Amino acid sequence: MKVYVIAGKAGCGKNTSANYIKKYYEEIGKSAVITEFSKYLKTFAYEIKNWDGTRENKPRAFLQELGSLIRYELFDENFFINRLIEDLRIYEKLVDVVIIADARLPKEIDSLKEKVGATSIKIVNKFNDYELKGNENKHETETALDNYSNFDFVVNNETFDKLEEDMKNIVKKVENNE
């Protein structure tokens, strides 16, 4: 099973990139799934905040605060990493490719590279500024990767067409072990 982990700031194109990778693999006859470290946080937001799942209504501050509470007070910093690795054990029986579309912390990337040989991709938004509210842009999930340099690929997201082509080229390189 191939595993990709996509990182970047809010609104940079992580989900779009994940969808392009999934599309390409499906075109060549392989099964792929997109998942997230934050899926458990989002479940709490659906239940507690009645979030409808849309980007426009995303309770980002709540998600950030809850993630910190879980990582540093209730459990430990590996909580979401361990959950995702458990999920990967299930996925490996069912799909060819897993794309994790929301890495935000160095430990998430390093753990997946070490434990499952994940390919890491950083997406850098070059076509617009994504507006966050209040102190959301100062939270560690927006800043922790600023000086991280252990990515396998860094992609400048300039246009959707170029991003799609870049993801296709990355998949080809990974498939050819380049």
Residue 138: predicted pLDDT: 65
pLDDT band at 170 (very low <50, low <70, confident <90, very high): very high
In 3-state terms the chain splits into helix, strand, coil percentages (rounded to 5) of 50, 15, 35
CA dihedral 51→52→55→56, nearest 10 degrees, is: -90
Structure tokens at 47: 């239940």
Q: What is the largest distance, in Å, between two alpha-carbon atoms of the chain?
A: 45
The count of other CB atoms within 10 Å of the CB of residue 28 is 10
Q: Tell me whether strands 119-125 and 97-103 are parallel, antiparallel or unpaired.
A: unpaired
What is the spatial distance between Cα 98 and Cα 114, in angstroms, rounded to a whole number? 16
CA dihedral 41→47→49→54, nearest 10 degrees, is: 70
Residue 150 belongs to domain with CATH number: 3.40.50.300
Find the helix packing angle between 79-91 and 106-116, rounded to 10°.
Answer: 40
Q: What is the pLDDT of residues 100-140, one digit of tens each?
A: 999 988 999 999 999 999 999 999 886 666 565 666 666 56
Task: Report which of 79, 87, 110 is spatially closest to residue 34, judged by C-alpha positions.
Answer: 87
pTM of the full predicted structure?
0.89
Structural domain of residue 17, as residue ranges? 2-175
Domain count, the chain: 1
Per DSSP, 101 falls in state E
